[in-house]
Chain A
Amino acid sequence: MVTSRIDHKWGMVVDLDRCNGCQACVIACQVENNLPINDKNAFLQNRAYEWIRIERYWEGDYPNIKARFIPVMCQHCENAPCEPVCPVFATYHNDEGLNVQIYNRCVGTRYCINNCPYQVRFFNYWHPNWPERLQNQLNPDVTVRTRGITEKCTFCIQRLRRGQIQVERRAGGELNDGTLKSGNHMPACVQACPTNALTFGDQNDVHSPVKPYFEDVNRYNIHHEKERKTRGYRVLEEMNTKPNVIYLKKVDPNLGGGHHG
């Protein structure tokens, strides 16, 4: 069945003021996307899988020390450095603004891992294993990746596809911000976040809560950062990777203005 074409351009806004570092998003991602269990060995070998990770930084000196959290996932760069270096087109950009990875094309050169400035690509050094009693919790919508390939955050493309099938094809409606929410067609991390630090939406949807932030950040590029009306910025903006993820700055009245110390 052919429906009228709807041009989506997905995007995410991460409000650093709201993130409290609870890691609920990390676990939700782990469960949704069939990531292997990160045991002690995985961390000791520096090979843990965290498609979304919470980076924790300390700011200030004792006793005025603050923990800062930055959730980092694949930024789905419009200008992705990981894409042109793959010899077999295992990673490419689709027309919905997503950077997608085709697992069975990947040959394992790991060039994309090197060339991703955000370090969100993961190589399967071992074959993934789940304890016997967890075998049945695997998500049937998501491939279990074999060893020797690279994987990363997909913006839960399986949920978006389910939304497209359920809303756009069967109901003949439009997959927009409202229908995303009502059908839980948003990424698992967004759904799980207790403080609503993560917002997901369609940049082409006029009602989407992410749209104003993207418009603002796109209008004033890095050279006109000061003129931005919102707190929005992109991580490593100077690399010009044009991510589809926007971060909102943390505003801390106690630390600003040079009054600390």
Chain B
Amino acid sequence: MPRPERKLITFSIDGREVEAPANMMLVDAAKFGDVEIPVFCYEPKLGAPVGACRMCLVDIEGIPKLQTGCSTPVKDGMVVHTQTRRVKDAQQSVVEFLLINHPLDCPVCDKGGECPLQDVSFGWGGGMTRFVEPKRHFKKPLELSPLIAIDRERCILCYRCVRFSQELSEDYQLVLHERSAATFVGTFDGHPYVAPFSGNILELCPVGALTSMPYRFRARPWDIENAGSVCTLCPAQCNVAFTVRDDRVLRVLARENEEVDDGWLCDKGRFAYQSIHAEERVVAPMVREDGVLREVTWERALEAAKAALGGAQGRIAGLAGGETTNEEGFLLQRLVRDVHGSPHVDSGAGLDRSGLLALGDPGLQATVADLEFAHTVLVLGTEPVDDAPILDLRLRKGVRRNRVKLAVATSRPSSLDPNATLAVRYAPGAEAAFVTALSAAFYGGAVDEPAQAAGADAGAVHELATLLRTSGGDQPGDVVVLYGQRVLAEGEAVTAPLLKLAGALGLSGRPGAGLLGVPTATNGRGLREAGVLPDAGPGLTAVPSAGHGATGIAEATAAGELSVLYLLHTDPLRDEPQRAVWERALEAATHVIAHAGFLTETIREHATVVFPAESYAEKEGTLVHPDGRLQRLRPAIGRPAGVRAAWQVLDELARSAGAEHGVHTVHSATQQLFAAVAFYAGLSVDAIGAKGVRWWEDDARAAAWPQESGLRAAISDLVAKTPLSRTPDYEEAPTPSGLGAADGATNGALRLGTYQSIWAAAEVEASPALKFLHPHQRVELSPADAARLGIEHGEHVTVGSAGATVEAVAHLRNESPAGSAFLQSGIPEDAANVLQGPLVEIRKATPK
């Protein structure tokens, strides 16, 4: 559904003629005349107004009754009064009513000082009460969840929290119990309100009824400062404001950016700040001596790193993790490539340069906001709530408010299935076959074969193609394909049909439509563009000879061809898909230099030099959002004394090897990066500012995107044409050699699919408030397979392949497709990357 157009009208408010967008609610339109109408329940982020609190009553000429300004759209020629006796009486009445049962325990209320009820009472209340009866009492405060305390006496029943749960996050947990003055907020059966986005109700609540357990009684508004930055805990890169007291982050609030996060945060982003001040954080450099990591001086650590790099004669490799900034990545690839002459540098992009160039083509990019206004969104091989949580809310919003048609194509059942017009399943690992089938459905190619190879229902594939093709009426409308990076594992076998699909849907150059890739790493896109790739330099320029990608690096190191591994904010044993080869590589490496915040397994067992990493609240630099938006990280607090910025360390190492790059501040690194990347030309941190800039929206920058891709050349005309009129002259790529879904069943083995939970993160583990959410391994399987294997829900099992096993708890899901089993990756123990796949066997665990 296309974005609505805005038209200006003129209306009168308190005697002033004011221009405002037509149909804007009066409370917002009033602001154009510098008039503030007090509100409590009105929160446009929550959708349609409810008109519950009655705080916003205004007098509109020609309407006898006072009207709620929050639900009355402004019309041309409207004459509105907010200062008449009648309105003031009404406002005072509502304030009086709100306060008669309110405990007014401001001195011990966390909200005090930043409380809309205080502000509105002061601004619009009568200043006294005539109520002499006993007030209403509830037991208080109570734990609504381990993260949220509820004080029902303070609740003004504005419905915001309940609407959030029911209509925004759609977790359907919060309800209003009882009615009249006995009404109270709770979960239906009193269970704790645990949900990925629960913390948003803390910010929505206009009073101190909902307070954050970890923040309770930690600070008063006059004790704190707020510092804007970006959350780096996942690729969604929500904009945040850190609440800082005495150089400690005590809270994270949303810093609304409509183009990024709509003003919401997930609970990981909201509460994992605790990791910043965790005991177990690495805050001093370390060097391994006699097999033991010991804290040392910076000089010693730098010496050790220099010696290791210097002695390697170029047999080094660099690997950057998701939280690496553009600047850090840029400096890393320069250190490895230019200073030490090794081509082996990667950020786990999982796709070669030509593929990246084709999929990253500026004409094909969709934005986050497009998800909300497209005719149809295809979610392909990603679970947004885990992979980029805040996008989950955006998709729900589009479906609910703008009637976006949602199609979900995944192997694991998605939490978005209930919202989807169509949900299609394919076997884990069969993405190439599936996308081939889908693309064939558009071009009249053979669908049955690849669909069968993908373990997908050919009819459903056709249905999906029809849905995508007809969403804009008799022609394809604006379609956004939101795909997970995982989908691209088979390289060209997926990118080619995916691009053909894009061509068929006319996505190229079409505003409001396009592809939106969710990388596995927070700054995955930025790192690619900064050249942290084995086969491309900054700006995705070609390099003379390609190096190894991440897995290749591991293999080469295991084989003794490489000797020094430089790990920038990454723990390959956890982050990389193939644990076994990395175990061998780390064993074989002579030196492992790591920038790390926590002593996770790789660092603890294998690092020889550890540089303490800045936390994201301390960092300065830039990131690139998956939709191409450059965002700026600004330090909210000072670094612990023993921590240095990674850019400084990387530059120091380059300098000591004789390379003087003149990186004196992080901004010099930024400038050098922007100069090196053709399509960032002319950008600066000032231009990026607080809200970011999507680089490809500038035509000159978009034109600077490298054009010489072989694959791109091959498909470019395909993409450019309006191919629905095409006759099926296109010969389908041979069916990928994916396993048929049914193959597994012959010996009782199941196909292994993996997913990473939103809670699988070192920062979550280090945050005491989130301890109760730590994921433990569980294997999801269908009741049919479980019955065949004699396994019951909740039973302990071992999942094994090729001699390796992990322990897990069996989790039977009715929606789970037969023949597949799903395990979590990214967790510290029993993670899926222990197993090779593609088939696994599940057995009852032998009792210990």
A binds B: no
